[in-house]
Structure 1
Amino acid sequence: MVRSTGSGQPASLGIDLGTSSVKAIVTGLDGTVIGHAAVPYPVLAPRPGWSETDPEAWLSATAAAVRTAVAEVGARPVAIGLSGQMHGLVLAKADGRPIRHAMLWSDARAVRELATYRNLPERVRAQLANPLSPGMPGPMLAWLNTHEPDALSATRWALQPKDWLRAQLTGRFATEPSDASATLLYNIPADDWSTEIVEALGLDPARLPPVLPDSAHPAGELTSDAAHLLELPPGLPVVAGAADTAAAALGSGLAHSSAVQLTIGTGVQVVRSVPALPEHLPVTPNTHLFRAATPKGWYAMGAGLNGGSTLAWVCRTLNASWQELYDVAARPPREHDPYFLPHLHGERTPHLDPDMRGAWIGLAPQHDREHLLRAALEGVGFAARDILDAILATGPPLSELWLAGGGTTDPRWRQMLADAVARPLHPVDVAAASGLGAAILAAQAAETAHGAAGRERHSAPVAPAVEPESTNSEIYSVRYTRYRDQARALPRASAIMPGAQTGD
């Protein structure tokens, strides 16, 4: 709940640059949210498989969101932190002006460029410690080098989205480890850019920004022009900020917990903190390993592309409301129900296949629209369990499983998820966790006692645990095994379908 605590209150400002909207979060220096605002902007798809946004739309939306959030409570921000969508790419001139639209994490045009990575010596591949995905800056830059060489030649800075936005606020160009480590250009063991990989892709390392030590590191001050745009005083300190997943882990308290968190929003994420870098890193992993928003930590992440976005497609296709969709979650599973493979957008963890596609399987005359709706929910739940299994296979035993995300609030859907993953779920209610994490980083920059307290913020699950129902879980366990078999056969079927390729 947003509440005002008086005009002129010293505050932290967190700016969360999401895929389709930016959120401005105003908090007291103790981390209490006192104001927020969100402003949307379009995601463009000029060709199938492409995802872009005009960076100038980010800047104008940010200005509107900040002005609204600050005015709402009459607060007095004393520092600014940022979080942002991961893996995107902005080509910028020396003065920060964008050269072309930003390429986003959901862009799949650079599939063929992954072959260069696969041909690297194992010693060099091991530096990445991450699976290959076309929607990351390394493959994107390689694609631009081939298809848009003039744009790349005009580029001074190749930036991640929140780093470009911060440069507009400060006039200084830099990145930080949580975003840089998620580019497929980073040497994870060395904790710095990999010159070998950059040069193997035919790219110029000088276009990459310097890497600041950590997410809370000072990254400049608000310029007069930016202050005028945001209607804030010039000279406010701005910290480096963090990738949105790392910032969310800080905001929810996961960064300081042994728990694992399952988040269902547009996609599906499973995240756990990793205090120290493992001694042995696989050459071909199927889960991600990125730097955390804390000074030294890391986190493991399994990422699925098919959560709320796929369920929204199901609702549109079957002309169903979200209420109708969640209504069928209360129906118990049956052995002969149809299956739904939700991989409409390709898939990352654990399949690593951008050409994977979805399907309803096992249809029979007795199945109706409600069976299809229920199968869709079950399929997303099984996809989440598949990702969870991949994360748990490489770390310590599970202590507690947190549940987060705007797509998990319905109690019937929560129960179905607990049954499908066969584990208790502890719902965590931290609204706008990424923006809150950004504000916590800003509070550290304020160098006050409250800021120090914010740095150690922990958040316990606030809702009662959702326990799996034993009879349902037994049926789901059998069905999950069959789902996994079918999902692993799907790439072979997708490969022979016309139009399966999304790369160019």
Structure 2
Amino acid sequence: MKFAGIDIGTTSIGIVIASSAGETISVVTKANDAFLRSERSWERTQEPERIAAIVRELIEASEPYWADVAAIGISCQMHGMLYVNLDGRSVSPLYTWQDGRGDLPMAHGVGTYAEHLGRLTGHSASSGYGLVTHYYNTLNGEVPKDAAFLCTIGDYIAMKLTGATSPVMDPSNAAGFGLFANRLAAFDAAAVAKAGMDASMLPPVAQAGGIAGRTPDGKAVACAIGDNQASFIGAVPKLAGTMLVNIGTGSQMSVYTEQYEEIPGLETRPFPGGGFLLVGAPLSGGKSYALLEQFFKAVCRSFGDAAIDDADIYERMNAMAGQALEEGMGQLRFGTQFYGTRYDPQGLGHAAGIGPDNFTPGHFAAAVLTGIVDELMGFVHLLPGRLLNAVTGAAGSGNGIRRNPVMQRLLREHLTLPLHLAEAKEEAAFGAAVHAAAATGACADLNAAMAAMKKG
């Protein structure tokens, strides 16, 4: 049997088709060019219909194999949301996880919208979370008049594929909206109402591993799952015992647990099919290294007109960083919180220990990479010994690791664990395909699907 996985990322969208025998048959990707311009410096939105069009283009590019696909899984960027009407059409942009309206100050000195919502409801939530965005829109009259439901972009693509007029949401995405009760696997409707929001706009939460519907040609479509969970499924050899370290635009440390856990400083995210992920999610990651790359390019432009290829400058940065590590960093340290943190959005990065021997481009590149790893390790160290001792290996995913041998070296040194790179280059899309095999009953459960589809 063949299964398709669709991953709707912030910057790219991809489809993987894989077989139940462990063969990856097709991989196609396209840039996500759906970003919308805005005069609001804090607004980050995308056009849902453009995303749907890209998905259609990718399906057409997969046409030689698409007819044989039995089921479809969907992975999507977490936290972001859009509004749909009673006919199932989008009536707003997709407000992405990077949207900053939740960090704007409210009137009367009560803090930001995210902070005030948290105090009001007792739930921790950050800017970019779907219900934080909706809270701002509700208070400022920006909810479309014909909006009937909120949903993720993954839920919306599932509706497009199946022809459904209302969304169904997997717990893994529902928890990323905020105001979610993990123990009940449901939104806290009382908290939503207390904040003055209409709870009837929340989509129903499916049981873990639910089905959103079927395509006109009979393909089962699993409810969309969060890209963090999908990447974990696609990258690790088995659910228990492996830590996933993902570095893309941001970064994440994830460990699976069968039982519900509450650990200060870590998020507890529902996992498809049961269980939970304990997640530490810094905002720094690939975009912190990209910030340094932009600085180097600006310096080069300031002193000459030579064009610099993006891939080439990253290769040079990596080479210089590796040489700097061999020479020694001295006391040089970078705090890479250039974009703040989830708990302190106004936080800033910092540098210390700069001297004449390490005031070089290579040392700065190495220090930024080390800073990204240091922030991730801070979350690793929050795991209690009983959980950390059960971790016997680490999987690395995301282009920030896959394309950077220096990052791989730093992670191996800091984690003191064997680190293997996920074989599937589109981990989230592959994970969505594996999830589809389990959710539709083609495999007994997720572990069985992972064992079967990763043996090739």
TM-score normalized by structure 2? 0.85
Q: Counterpart in 2 of 1:85?
A: 77
The answer to whether 1:303 aligns with 2:296 is no
1:369-406: CA deviations, max 9, x gaps?
22222221221121221222234579442432332222
Q: Which residue of 2 aligns with 1:162?
A: 154
The answer to whether structure 1 residue 135 and structure 2 residue 128 are counterparts is yes
Q: Aligned in 2, Cα 1:88/1:394: closer, same or farther, shift over 3 Å?
A: farther
**Pairing 1:408–2:407 present:** no
Task: Quote the Cα distance in structure 2 between the aligned partners of 1:307 and 1:55.
Answer: 26
How far is the alpha carbon of 1:290 from its aligned partner?
0.9
Question: How big is the shift at 1:254?
Answer: 5.8
Q: Provide the C-alpha distance between the structure 1 equivalents of 2:119 and 2:443, rounded to a whole number of angstroms.
A: 51
**Percent pairwise identity:** 21
Task: Give the Cα separation in 2 of the matches to 1:163 and 1:249.
Answer: 20
Alignment of 1:323-362 (within 5 A): 323-327=315-319, 328-330=321-323, 331-332=325-326, 334=328, 336-348=330-342, 352-362=343-353
Q: Which residue of 1 aligns with 2:220?
A: 237
**Alpha-carbon distance in structure 2 between the residues aligned to 1:113 and 1:25:** 39
1:247 maps to what in 2? Answer: 230
Alpha-carbon separation, structure 2, partners of 1:424 and 1:150 = 49
Go from structure 1 to structure 2 and tell me whether the alpha carbon gap of 1:52 and 1:197 turns closer, same or farther (over 3 Å shift).
same
Residue by residue over 1:266-313, the C-alpha shift from the partner in whole angstroms, topping out at 9 and shown as x without a partner, is 1110000010113xx46xx3211111012x211111101111111112
Q: Does 1:25 align with 2:16?
A: yes
Q: 2:99 aligns with which of 99, 107, 120?
A: 107
Q: Structure 2 vs 1, CA of residues 30 and 148 (structure 1 numbering), >3 Å: closer, same or farther?
A: farther
Q: Which moved more, 1:183-192 or 1:442-451?
A: 442-451
Gaps of 5+ in 2: 104-111, 298-311
Counterpart Cα distance in 2 of 1:237 and 1:12: 10
Shift of 1:445: 5.5
The CA deviation string for residues 211-265 of structure 1, in whole angstroms up to 9 with x for no partner, is 11123x2221114xxxxxxxxxx23221213111112222234662222111111
C-alpha contact (below 8 Å) 2:238/2:450 kept by paired residues: no
Cα deviation for residue 84 of structure 1 reads: 0.8
Q: Does 1:293 align with 2:272?
A: yes
Q: Which residue of 2 aligns with 1:438?
A: 432
Q: How does 1:2-401 map to 2 (within 5 A)?
A: 10-42=1-33, 43-44=35-36, 46=38, 47-71=40-64, 73=65, 76-111=68-103, 112-120=112-120, 125=122, 128=123, 131-151=124-144, 153-172=145-164, 173-215=167-209, 217-223=210-216, 234-253=217-236, 256-278=239-261, 281=262, 285-294=264-273, 296-319=274-297, 321-327=313-319, 328-330=321-323, 331-332=325-326, 334=328, 336-348=330-342, 352-366=343-357, 367-392=359-384, 395-397=387-389, 398-401=391-394
**1:68 shift after superposition:** 0.6
Contact 2:79 2:96 in 1 (8 A): yes
Give the Cα separation in 2 of the matches to 1:448 and 1:190: 27
Q: What CA deviation, in whole Å up to 9, does each residue of 1:299-357 have, x standing for no partner?
A: 11110111111111211211381112211224336463432221122223xxx111112
Contact 2:59 2:66 in 1 (8 A): no
Cα offset, 1:69, TM superposition: 2.1
SS of the residue aligned with 1:318? helix
Please say which of residues 167-176 and 394-403 is displaced more in the overlay.
394-403
Separation of aligned partners in 2, 1:29 and 1:458: 6
Segments ≥4 residues shifted beyond 6 Å: 449-453, 458-462
Kept in 2: contact 1:108–1:354 (CA 8 A): no
Amino acid at match of 2:340: G
Indicate the larger mover: 47-56 or 417-426: 417-426
User: What are the ranges of 5 or more consecutive residues in structure 1 without an aligned counterpart?
Assistant: 1-9, 224-233, 463-504
**Structure 1 pair 218–371 and aligned structure 2 pair: CA distance change class (3 A):** closer
Determine helix, strand or coil for the equivalent of 1:181.
helix
Distance 1:199 1:453, change over 3 A: closer
Distance 1:311 1:434, change over 3 A: same
Matched positions, count: 425
Cα distance between partner residues in 2 of 1:358 and 1:333: 24
Which residue matches 1:6? none
CA deviation vs aligned residue, 1:454-486 (integer Å, no higher than 9, x gap): 525279999xxxxxxxxxxxxxxxxxxxxxxxx
Q: For the structure 1 residues 51 and 293, does the alpha-carbon distance in structure 2 shift closer, same or farther, using more than 3 Å as the test?
A: same
* Letter matched to residue 119 of structure 1: R
Aligned partners of 1:254 and 1:261 also within 8 Å: no
Q: In structure 2, the residue corresponding to 1:182 is in which secondary structure?
A: helix
TM-score (norm 1): 0.78
